[in-house]
Amino acid sequence: MPLQLKPLHPLFCAQASGIDITQPLSETDLKAINTAMNKYGVLVWRGQPLTAQQQLNFSQSFGPLDIGLKRVFQRKERLEDERLIDISNVDAQGNVAGRDSPKNLSNFANQLWHSDSSFMKPRAAYSMLHALVTPSWGGNTEFADLRAAYDALPQRTRDEIQDLQAEHFALHTRLLLGDDAYTEDQKKAIPPAVWPLSDTHPGSGRKVLFVGVHARQIIGWPVAESRMYLMDLLEHATQRPFVYTHEWEEGDLVIWDNRSTLHRGRRYDIAERRELRRTTINDTPEAQLMAS
């Protein structure tokens, strides 16, 4: 059966069905999913009984996988394959983590608007998040369309950002939240990456307002002015008309393009178990070729 798509938002995001993503993808299926991603930016697959290995197999069909911030933290993880990112409040022993645990600090950082691995070169292309255990309330994920955000900018702002670049730093969100106990080696583990504020999405060719909380400095601007301007741009990009809210059900798999969207998690009772599993694709020439 060919890929079926049901729009979930007036601007972006669709529910996908018709392809069995627990099995190896054909070239036709792979091209159809990439084409849909270039149009919608976010695809939602309901009721997917994916094992960890099936999620890995599906994900690496689109390009090489990345481990992101594991390069910095290098702490014991409960998931055996380092390419699986544990988006949960569960510690290495399998218990619900304490309120002040490093695990929950990561969860709080995930509640800020960001794109995965914008602090790296190459940055992330697609992320795939699979829900295993959901809490009784909250824990939604919100997505914002950076292409629509760019389209809605006044011309004066488009002209102003045309040649501006911002520096994205891996630990910026952690430092914002008061977590500053990092060694110099940890701070240097992922050097800052620089990206244009006015970017072009490689798959759709559409212009993008590439902002997010990892951006800490506009190159050539004073820090204070940079951060105020970046906050203004982020506020613009995350207005309600540009946002889709996903209410998780167990078995959901959501794929999003980090080059054209932002996302953030929302609050839930962190005393309740919540388990999701993420895989992330590097935005390499190989991945771009697959998506073309």
Structural domains present in the chain: 4-291 (3.60.130.10)
Query: How much is the pLDDT for 230?
Result: 98
* Rounded CA separation 175/40 (Å): 33
Other Cβ atoms closer than 10 A to 47? 10
Q: Which residue has the tokens 């307002």?
A: 209
Query: How much is the pLDDT for 285?
Result: 67
Query: How much is the pLDDT for 291?
Result: 58
63 alpha carbon, distance to own chain's centre: 16
What does the buried/exposed string (b/e) look like for 106-139 if buried means 16 or more CB atoms within 10 Å of the residue's CB?
bbbbbbbbbbbbbbbebbbbbbbbbbbebbeebb
Other Cβ atoms closer than 10 A to 186? 15
Q: Residue 250: name the closest of 150, 158, 165, 132 by CA.
A: 132
Helices (H), the chain: 27-40, 52-59, 70-73, 102-109, 146-151, 155-161, 172-176, 184-189, 223-237, 285-291
* Rounded CA separation 184/19 (Å): 47
Query: How much is the pLDDT for 31?
Result: 96
Residue-wise pLDDT tens for the chain (292 aa)?
A: 899 999 999 999 999 999 999 999 999 999 999 999 999 999 999 999 999 999 999 999 999 998 777 666 656 678 878 899 999 999 988 999 999 888 888 889 999 999 999 999 999 999 999 999 999 999 999 999 999 999 999 999 999 999 999 999 988 888 888 877 777 887 777 889 999 999 999 999 999 999 999 999 999 999 999 999 999 999 999 999 999 999 999 999 999 999 999 999 999 999 999 999 999 999 976 555 555 5
Q: Residue 92: name the closest of 108, 75, 72, 111 by CA.
A: 75
| Contacts of range 94-98, beta carbons closer than 8 Å, 24 or more positions apart | 96/270, 96/271, 96/272, 96/273, 97/270
Structure tokens at 106: 């990561």
Query: How much is the pLDDT for 131?
Result: 98
Query: How much is the pLDDT for 20?
Result: 96
Q: Are 51 and 81 in contact (CB under 8 A)?
A: no
37 alpha carbon, distance to own chain's centre: 14
102 alpha carbon, distance to own chain's centre: 20
